[in-house]
Chain A
């Protein structure tokens, strides 16, 4: 067992080094080259070998997600790998699903799950009409919807079960409008279906409500990974700055107020890392505590990231407040992450719901 853990640590270390190297080559605010991502094999990490995947787990995807956060990279990778592939793996196999999965892994198509960025149930509905089955509904703040060519739309069918509707993003009755946000590293869109005709409808293995809840959890954990990575980057930047910048004839890092602020940042990053690791482990193993660990990681890591990026801006002084410093990019991304897929308060409310029912005697 211990050798397996060591092997995994080694694999994650390599994956992290490659990702950091690749992401460093992309200019700030430009999207990371998709073909490069596809060639790196990151899209197929969780896919089975028959779809040209690596048969790895969400733990490996999490390594990439964290590095994207560290680089504040612009990429639909989180939307596709955490949500698109996550959804496809939860669906009953079939020829067209299998084909889409294969094309996703190779990078020839960009499928996005139309999951609203604010936690909610499936907002789409399928209606049987004399003209066939039609799809209606709206999802807002869908990550990377403007980049998607294929949409995976969670919808409630006439029997009340949640299914996934597969549809071209440019199909008649479908519209995707860009939703500009202050965070310049993100692309959001609102997805509207107005009597659109689904190309195909796919069912989840097992309970569909459970599957959709799991996808929400995955989304929350993916954002927590991003926030952890960007927290690490901001702590590193603040420490590097405090170690060279001089004021009053001393390096500012030697001032207790600055040093202690950095120490507190490290403590929060360390705790966030433990919580994110636990959440990623639960996602990987489909454990019973997955919802709890996801809420803990999302709420702590995303709240901590805002504090840490904010403290980094403060410690950089006037320089930190300039556009050129780039710290605002991280602060905006961290703050957006905090609201995405459930605010810390919403996640804590879910945790608190257990206190009345759990017997603590």
Chain B
């Protein structure tokens, strides 16, 4: 699993801790509340370069591309970043995780050389998988890519592409063979977002933010050199890279929740309320906190195992996704309840903070970003039942 000895890990932790103390921008939460898009992007890019200089931006990448950290070290890194309330790399999330893992697993050497260094220099990616008629049922996607000369001509509409308004590139799934069975006629492309015919429109979400976008594609040309994996094999590429990636992203998110989020929650419960009593003095509050701490401990162990395991079970990633997203929902719901009416007066949350903003009501509303996208909780349960337990498939209409 790892070659780091406990002593080496302690030393590594001390180094990260010291780095956190001297590099995390003071008062960044306040400074990142009510800022413009441009300021947010600049802050994210600067923070990415800070982390990169320390070797902390892409610890999960192979060494030759600028990563190479052991799993045990990555866990320590994320624990310390969470404990010191570091800003999250929300803007680079798709670039350093999904784009990188796709390129590493299925990209050509030329594609890797072109994009991996560029990602380190700040190239931003989004993901164009979902469509109005193809959410959790991704194989139903309708966007077409028609072969024309040295490339493809793409038409269609994508939905829920997070951060697409800031993106330079897009991981795009499109149907290349309309006559093939649903999953067999799809191809995987790298789309330059500045190509003529690409139109991005942000969608206002339940939280009031506009993180997700629609992408309209009208006669967009993609060179054939930007095909990832064989033509028509895009479904398989997407499944492999998404499955592998889910564990990695979960490792950070679990530590954020367990190490950062739980501290926020305990601090909230330890703060005296209007009557002078602390929520923590109520045994029921203590019981619910302990329940969450136990569940979070289980989550962190699950994530560490998923990442360490070279041969995860067919439903392991779904188990983690389902459990994480619903636990996040219980936790932010509880935080909102404890915070009381004051939670409803936090009208804005700091950008760069992800869900653990401390604005409990906005975080609670935002928790649906996790139980709906990436396959809803209902879809995850079906995957777990069928692939994990071998239960009979549901009858389908096709």
The reply on B386 being an interface residue by CB < 8 A is yes
Whether B381 and A349, one on each chain, are in contact in the complex, defined by CB atoms closer than 8 angstroms, is: no
The reply on B283 being an interface residue by CB < 8 A is yes
- On chain B, the residues within 8 Å of A348 by CB distance are 286-287, 290-291, 294
Whether B391 and A250, one on each chain, are in contact in the complex, defined by CB atoms closer than 8 angstroms, is: no
Would you list which residues of chain A between 46 and 77 have a CB under 8 Å from chain B? none
- On chain B, the residues within 8 Å of A176 by CB distance are none
**Chain A binder among B139-147, B242-250, B262-270, B334-342:** B262-270
Interface 0/1 of A347-359, CB less than 8 Å to B? 1110111011010
The reply on B41 being an interface residue by CB < 8 A is no
The reply on A266 being an interface residue by CB < 8 A is yes
The reply on A2 being an interface residue by CB < 8 A is yes
Q: How far is B293's CA from A296's CA once the two chains are assembled, in angstroms? A: 9
Knowing A270-B302, A275-B301 touch, does A253 contact B289 (C-beta < 8 A)? no
- On chain B, the residues within 8 Å of A264 by CB distance are 381
Q: How far is B391's CA from A259's CA once the two chains are assembled, in angstroms? A: 7
Q: How far is B322's CA from A239's CA once the two chains are assembled, in angstroms? A: 20
- On chain B, the residues within 8 Å of A263 by CB distance are 322, 380-382, 384-385, 388-389
Report the minimum CB–CB distance from A210 to chain B (whole Å).
23
Q: How far is B323's CA from A356's CA once the two chains are assembled, in angstroms? A: 28
Interface 0/1 of A280-312, CB less than 8 Å to B? 000000000000000010011000000000000
Interface 0/1 of B369-398, CB less than 8 Å to A? 000000000101110111011111111000
Whether B382 and A259, one on each chain, are in contact in the complex, defined by CB atoms closer than 8 angstroms, is: yes
The reply on A27 being an interface residue by CB < 8 A is no
Knowing A266-B384, A267-B319, A271-B323 touch, does A296 contact B391 (C-beta < 8 A)? no
Whether B302 and A271, one on each chain, are in contact in the complex, defined by CB atoms closer than 8 angstroms, is: yes
Whether B270 and A352, one on each chain, are in contact in the complex, defined by CB atoms closer than 8 angstroms, is: no
Whether A351 and B391, one on each chain, are in contact in the complex, defined by CB atoms closer than 8 angstroms, is: no
Report the minimum CB–CB distance from B224 to chain A (whole Å).
41
Knowing A239-B391, A348-B294 touch, does A355 contact B378 (C-beta < 8 A)? no
Whether A352 and B1, one on each chain, are in contact in the complex, defined by CB atoms closer than 8 angstroms, is: no
Report the minimum CB–CB distance from A308 to chain B (whole Å).
13
Report the minimum CB–CB distance from B23 to chain A (whole Å).
19
Would you list which residues of chain A between 237 and 266 have a CB under 8 Å from chain B? 239, 242-243, 250-251, 253-256, 258-260, 262-264, 266
The reply on B346 being an interface residue by CB < 8 A is no
Whether A266 and B298, one on each chain, are in contact in the complex, defined by CB atoms closer than 8 angstroms, is: no
Whether B389 and A274, one on each chain, are in contact in the complex, defined by CB atoms closer than 8 angstroms, is: no
Knowing A267-B323, A270-B319, A271-B323 touch, does A361 contact B267 (C-beta < 8 A)? yes
- On chain A, the residues within 8 Å of B207 by CB distance are none
- On chain B, the residues within 8 Å of A5 by CB distance are 1
- On chain A, the residues within 8 Å of B111 by CB distance are none
Whether B270 and A256, one on each chain, are in contact in the complex, defined by CB atoms closer than 8 angstroms, is: no
- On chain B, the residues within 8 Å of A266 by CB distance are 315, 319, 384, 388-389
The reply on A360 being an interface residue by CB < 8 A is yes
Whether B319 and A351, one on each chain, are in contact in the complex, defined by CB atoms closer than 8 angstroms, is: no
- On chain A, the residues within 8 Å of B269 by CB distance are 355
Q: How far is B295's CA from A351's CA once the two chains are assembled, in angstroms? A: 13
Q: How far is B384's CA from A260's CA once the two chains are assembled, in angstroms? A: 8
The reply on A278 being an interface residue by CB < 8 A is yes
Interface size on A, residues (CB 8 A): 41
The reply on B168 being an interface residue by CB < 8 A is no
The reply on A345 being an interface residue by CB < 8 A is yes
Knowing A349-B283, A352-B287, A355-B269 touch, does A271 contact B388 (C-beta < 8 A)? no
The reply on B108 being an interface residue by CB < 8 A is no
Place the interface of chain B in its size category: 35 or more
Knowing A349-B287, A352-B286, A352-B287 touch, does A267 contact B295 (C-beta < 8 A)? no
The reply on A103 being an interface residue by CB < 8 A is no
Whether A355 and B384, one on each chain, are in contact in the complex, defined by CB atoms closer than 8 angstroms, is: no
Whether B289 and A355, one on each chain, are in contact in the complex, defined by CB atoms closer than 8 angstroms, is: yes
Whether A355 and B1, one on each chain, are in contact in the complex, defined by CB atoms closer than 8 angstroms, is: no
Knowing A349-B283, A352-B286, A355-B289 touch, does A262 contact B385 (C-beta < 8 A)? yes
- On chain A, the residues within 8 Å of B386 by CB distance are 259
Whether A254 and B289, one on each chain, are in contact in the complex, defined by CB atoms closer than 8 angstroms, is: no
Report the minimum CB–CB distance from B116 to chain A (whole Å).
29
The reply on B280 being an interface residue by CB < 8 A is yes
- On chain B, the residues within 8 Å of A274 by CB distance are 298, 301-302, 305
Whether B392 and A253, one on each chain, are in contact in the complex, defined by CB atoms closer than 8 angstroms, is: yes
Which of B286, B391, B394, B395 neighbours the largest number of chain A CB atoms within 10 Å of its CB? B391
Report the minimum CB–CB distance from B293 to chain A (whole Å).
6
The reply on B297 being an interface residue by CB < 8 A is yes
- On chain B, the residues within 8 Å of A168 by CB distance are none
Whether A251 and B392, one on each chain, are in contact in the complex, defined by CB atoms closer than 8 angstroms, is: yes
- On chain A, the residues within 8 Å of B283 by CB distance are 349, 352
- On chain A, the residues within 8 Å of B385 by CB distance are 253, 259-260, 262-263
Interface 0/1 of B280-310, CB less than 8 Å to A? 1001001101110111011101100100000
- On chain A, the residues within 8 Å of B270 by CB distance are 355-356, 360
Q: How far is B382's CA from A239's CA once the two chains are assembled, in angstroms? A: 14
Name the CB-closest residue of A to B264. A360
- On chain B, the residues within 8 Å of A262 by CB distance are 385, 389, 391
Q: How far is B391's CA from A335's CA once the two chains are assembled, in angstroms? A: 27
Would you list which residues of chain B between 206 and 239 have a CB under 8 Å from chain A? none
- On chain A, the residues within 8 Å of B301 by CB distance are 274-275, 277-278
- Other A-B pairs beyond A239-B390, A296-B297, 18, CB < 8 Å: A253-B385, A254-B391, A254-B395, A260-B378, A262-B391, A263-B322, A263-B385, A263-B388, A266-B319, A267-B323, A275-B294, A275-B298, A349-B286, A351-B293, A355-B289, A356-B280, A360-B266, A361-B263
Q: List 27 A-B contacts (CB under 8 A).
A: A239-B390, A243-B390, A243-B392, A250-B392, A250-B395, A256-B382, A259-B386, A260-B378, A262-B389, A263-B381, A263-B382, A263-B384, A263-B385, A263-B389, A264-B381, A266-B319, A267-B384, A274-B305, A275-B297, A278-B297, A296-B293, A296-B294, A345-B287, A349-B286, A349-B290, A356-B280, A360-B267
Residues of A in contact with B (beta carbons under 8 Å apart): 2, 5, 239, 242-243, 250-251, 253-256, 258-260, 262-264, 266-267, 270-272, 274-275, 277-278, 296, 299-300, 345, 347-349, 351-353, 355-356, 358, 360-361
